[in-house]
C-alpha cells in the first residue's frame, strides 16, 4: 500500500480515537497508552512483525494485541481501538496513528512538537535544558521526543516543525570532507 494511503488511513483512525478520547475525557490516558505502545513497537522486532504481518489472521492479530494491551494496563478505549484496528487489518498503521494522535493533542494544547536525535542518551538535566532552550527559541510550550542515533557520533539533530538544526559530528565531518575535496 502506498505510504500516502497509509498516512490517510492513520490520520482517520487517529482523528476518530482523538474524538472518542476527548468525549470521554481520557485524552491524556490514551496518549500515555500510545506513547508506551510506540516504545514497545520500537523496542520489539516481534511486535513489529505482528503488526506488519499479512500472514497472520485477524483473530491471531486481535488476540495478540488484546493480550498486549491487557498486560500493559491500557485504558478500555485504547484496548478496544487496538481490537478494532486488528479486526479491520489496520495494525500496520499504528505508528502513523500514534504520531497523528500525539500531534493533534499537542496542537490542541498549543504545543509544538520537537524531534531530537542524539548520539547518546540524554540525562534528565540535559533534556530539561534542551526543553528550556526550545521554549525560549520558539516562544511556547514544546513537547520533545528524544531518540538515540549512535551514527551521529556526537551532537544533536533537532527538528521542530519544518525547521531543522543539525549540529551532529557526523554532518560536520561530512562538510569537512567536502571542503577538503575542494582544496585538493
**Grid cell for residue 93:** 498503521
Cα 41-50-53 angle, rounded to 5 deg: 125
In terms of pTM, does the model score above 0.85?
no
pLDDT score for 3:
67
CATH number of 1-107: 1.10.520.20
How far is the C-alpha of 163 from the C-alpha of 7, rounded, in Å? 21
**Measured between alpha carbons, how far is residue 113 from residues 81, 100, 103, 160 in Å?**
24, 11, 7, 6
In contact, 18 and 78? CB cutoff 8 Å: no
Contacts of 20 (CB under 8 A, 6+ apart): 77, 81
Beta bridge partners of residue 145, listed in sequence order:
115
**Grid cell for residue 102:** 500525539
pLDDT score for 2:
63
pLDDT in tens, the chain (184 residues): 666 777 889 999 999 999 999 999 999 999 999 999 999 999 999 999 999 988 999 999 999 999 999 999 999 999 999 999 999 999 999 999 999 999 899 888 888 888 899 989 889 999 999 889 888 888 778 878 888 888 888 888 988 877 888 888 888 888 888 888 876 5
User: Domain boundaries in the chain?
Assistant: 1-107, 111-180
Q: How remote is the C-alpha of 35 from its chain's centroid?
A: 7
Please state which of the four CATH numbers 3.40.30, 2.60.40, 1.10.3470, 3.90.550 is assigned to the domain occupying 111-180: 3.40.30
pLDDT score for 40:
95
pLDDT score for 1:
62
Amino acid at each position: 500500500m502506498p505510504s500516502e494511503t497509509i498516512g490517510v488511513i492513520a490520520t482517520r483512525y487517529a482523528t476518530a480515537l482523538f474524538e472518542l478520547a476527548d468525549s470521554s475525557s481520557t485524552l491524556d490516558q490514551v496518549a500515555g497508552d500510545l506513547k508506551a505502545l510506540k516504545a514497545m513497537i520500537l523496542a520489539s522486532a516481534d511486535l513489529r512483525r505482528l503488526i506488519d504481518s499479512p500472514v497472520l489472521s485477524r483473530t491471531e492479530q486481535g488476540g495478540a494485541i488484546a493480550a498486549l494491551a491487557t498486560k500493559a494496563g491500557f485504558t478500555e478505549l485504547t484496548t478496544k481501538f487496538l481490537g478494532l484496528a486488528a479486526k479491520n487489518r489496520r495494525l500496520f498503521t499504528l505508528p502513523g496513528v500514534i504520531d497523528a494522535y500525539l500531534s493533534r493533542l499537542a496542537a490542541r494544547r498549543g504545543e509544538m512538537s520537537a524531534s531530537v536525535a542524539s548520539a547518546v542518551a540524554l540525562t534528565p538535566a540535559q533534556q530539561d535544558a534542551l526543553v528550556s532552550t526550545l521554549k525560549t527559541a520558539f516562544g511556547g510550550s514544546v513537547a520533545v521526543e528524544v531518540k538515540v542515533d549512535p551514527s551521529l557520533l556526537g551532537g544533536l539533530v533537532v527538528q521542530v516543525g519544518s525547521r531543522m538544526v543539525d549540529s551532529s559530528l557526523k554532518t560536520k565531518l561530512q562538510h569537512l570532507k567536502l571542503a577538503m575535496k575542494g582544496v585538493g
